[in-house]
Amino acid sequence: MPGAKFLEGEKINLRTIEEEDLDFLSSVNLPEIRENIVSVRTPQNMEKTREFFEEQICGEGSVNLLICVEEDPKGIISLIEEGKVSKIHRIGLWLHPDSHRKGYGTEACELMIKYGFNQLNAHKIFYRAHGSNKPSQNLAEKLGFEKEAVLKDHVYTQGEYKDLVWYRLLREEWEE
Amino acid sequence: MSAVFLQSGDVTLRPVEREDVEFLQELVQHPEVRDTIGRAPLPVNRKQEEEHIEEISSDDDGVYFLIEYQGEKAGITSIHGLEDRYRKAEFGISIHPKLHDQGIGSKSVKMLAEYAFDSLNIHKLRGGYVEGNPASKRIMEKIGMKEEGRERHYKYVDGEWKDTIWMSILEDEWRSE
């Protein structure tokens, strides 16, 4: 049974992530996904995936939703509180490789950003992309993020050092 | 499923059970509901709602009822503050938007108030509604609640701060109603 619909877009909707989605969450092991996210390097077995579910998804301090077309999961998106006092959140997402280049990521981010500013009263939302990941940087730019910093040789992946590019969106920039 | 606790026509109140988790999960994050309740407008998955049901089952300070309308799950209502020394309590209610405008809220709150004053011996019952929610206001006025004050900037909804208006009724006002 799919999770409850939380935010609704045109092509996709964002639903709560349920225990039944653990198999899908395990897609994070796919090279196309894990090589482009900062936090995962080692194999994530079901026990680790369950830990992620219980600690991050069911825990406090972040909003995590399943990106779905109708009821089919395509990816996950998170808005993570990085500074309670400063009201700063980090947005991050991954899509299953079969669902790239369909505009799902853009729409999911638009919904989550609107929710972050309008319901959670965020002041600033930031986003990180690997220097080698052009689609990810294009996504940030398309969403109106400003490039804030380039951290030189900050991530080692696929046999080489890569830059980490930080993007930011302030509330007033988003409102324009 | 547990037995009926309170009944008024086709509206019944019964204890909340673990089996209600899917209904409650859908209810509390329905876009029209999550913007009107005190709880934060965050997504809630089944596991989190199950934990919530466990917490309320062991909460001595509050009572919680599942509202049914003609045998269908319709909403939730609760009273908090039962451990307060002065016996001042606060109630809350949410009806699923698909069942709005059937008088379910009014009947439920009337039963709840009667129970709070007659069985729990409270001195005062308080309730609040986020501005721009005339249905809640009407329900509270119907049982004789008076406006007590406005709490400014109570909740952040759709890019702006909303006030909450607090209403209340005292035990002697309830008895003379």
Contact B158 A4 (CB under 8 A): no
Nearest CA in chain A to B45: A16
DSSP 3-state of B82: coil
Contacts of B48 in chain A (CB under 8 A): 58
Q: Which residue in chain A is spatially nearest to B35 when comparing CA positions?
A: A119
Helices H / strands E in chain A, number of each: 6, 8
State the ipTM, two decimals: 0.77
Q: Minimal Cα–Cα distance from B154 to chain A, Å?
A: 13
Count Cβ neighbours within 10 Å for each residue of B15-44 and write b for 16 or more, e otherwise. bbeeebbebbbbbbbbeebbbbbeeebbbb
Average pLDDT taken over every residue of chain A: 94
- Checking if the pLDDT of B169 tops 80, the result is yes
Please report residues of A whose CB lies closer than 8 A to that of B157. Answer: 118-119
pLDDT at A39: 76
CA–CA distance, B11 with B104 (Å, rounded to integer):
7
Asked if B25 is an interface residue toward chain A (Cβ–Cβ < 8 A), one would say yes
Instruction: Give residue B177's pLDDT band: very low, low, confident or very high (50, 70, 90).
Output: confident
Band of the pLDDT at B140, cuts 50, 70, 90? very high
| pTM across the whole model | 0.86
Band of pLDDT at residue A40, cut at 50, 70 and 90: confident
Partners of residue A16 in chain B, C-beta under 8 Å: 25, 29, 43-46
Q: For residues A97 and A74, give the distance between their C-alpha atoms in angstroms, rounded to a whole number.
A: 9
Contact check, Cβ <8 Å, B43/A65 = yes
- Closest-CA distance of chain B to residue A16, Å: 5
With residue B59 as reference, give the H or E element that holds it.
Answer: none
pLDDT of residue A1: 74
Distance CA B2, CA B16 (A): 8
Question: Which chain B residues are Cβ-neighbours of A3 within 8 angstroms?
Answer: 45-46
Task: Look at A118 and B47 and tell me if their CB atoms are within 8 Å.
Answer: no
Residue B174 to residue B145: CA distance in whole angstroms: 9
Q: How confident is the model at residue B23 (pLDDT cuts 50, 70, 90)?
A: very high
Cβ pair A3:B156 closer than 8 A:
no
DSSP string computed for B105-120: HHHHHHHHHHHHHHTS
The pLDDT of residue B1 is above 80: no
Closest CA to A50 of A88, A87, A17: A17
- Please check whether residue A121 touches B, CB under 8 A: yes
